[in-house]
Amino acid sequence: MSVAKYKRVVLKLSGEALAGKQGFGIEPSVIQSVAKQVKELVDLGVEVAVVVGGGNIWRGKIGSEMGMDRANADYMGMLATVMNSLALQDSLENIDVQTRVQTSIEMRQVAEPYIRRKAIRHLEKKRVVIFAAGTGNPYFSTDTTAALRAAEIEAEVILMAKNNVDGVYSADPTIDTNAKKYQTLSYLEMLNKGLAVMDSTASSLCMDNDIPLVVFSIMEEGNIKRAVLGEEIGTVVRGKN
């Protein structure tokens, strides 16, 4: 039987990873595939927390560029992550995976509020915990949420599933044909080189708390499991130097 390298992980799914080719909203076949891949981890005995983004529905920056108040626009983004989280919960429960959604902004009729100890208890009972509504604060991102929650629940790694790239490159591979893919990289290198894998707040938080990150493509089915088994896929980011 395959043995997982990690006991507890945070899986970061960007909103776009749920949108599929259409680039907006939620594509049922894509979210079902993601749910199936998450189930594979649960079946391996891994404790899985998921942080879901909202960029497939709304980004605060877009609203602010349109002249909206930035904080308000960001709250809309956080609400978008709640929609995605409920959709993922539904897909997981359809294939008999037990889940709990916890939101950083209270909405008790919809989901539990975020309570760290309760989240850990759910994980110990092998329930998938989906963290919704980001950090609950404007001016932050769901990447930062993943870093923060990973530190709080003492996850061993953040698995960053991307829909448009299969790792960290020296330049944008869709523009620069000479872009080189890194096998490993330190957070400091990533910050110094300005590589836009995650925002700098999230990178610093991961660096300061020694949380490794695996960046890989979700478009290839089975990749989340490969990452958890410690196979060399994508790019591993860790450490200061």
The residues binding ligand UDP (CB under 6 A) are 14-16, 53-55, 59-61, 74, 77-78, 80-81, 134-135, 137-138, 140-143, 145
Position closest to ligand UDP via CB: 53
Cβ of residue 149: shortest distance to ligand UDP, in angstroms?
10
Minimum separation from the CB atom of position 11 to ligand UDP (A): 12
The structure tokens listed for 78 are: 């956080």
**Closest distance of CB 172 from ligand UDP, Å:** 16
Q: Are 63 and 73 in contact (CB under 8 A)?
A: yes
Please say which residue, 10 or 229, places its beta carbon nearer to ligand UDP.
10
15 vs 24: CA distance, rounded Å: 9
Known binder of ligand: residue 85? no
- 178 assigned to a ligand binding site: no
Q: Which is nearer to ligand UDP, 81 or 102 (CB)?
A: 81
How many residues belong to the chain?
Answer: 241
| 184, two tokens | 């490993």
User: 59 in helix, strand or coil?
Assistant: coil
Q: Which is nearer to ligand UDP, 63 or 212 (CB)?
A: 63
Give the list of residues 6+ apart from residue 54 with CB closer than 8 angstroms, or none.
Answer: 15, 77, 78, 79, 80, 81, 83, 84, 134, 142
Residue nearer to ligand UDP on the CB measure, 33 or 201: 201
Edge to edge, the sheet with strand 128-132 lists 112-113, 99-103, 128-132, 47-52, 8-13, 157-162, 213-217, 235-237, 184-185
Which residue ranges make up the annotated binding site? 12-15, 54-55, 59, 74, 135-142, 163, 169, 172
Which residue ranges make up the annotated binding site for UMP? 54, 74, 135-142
Which residue ranges make up the annotated binding site for ATP? 12-15, 55, 59, 163, 169, 172
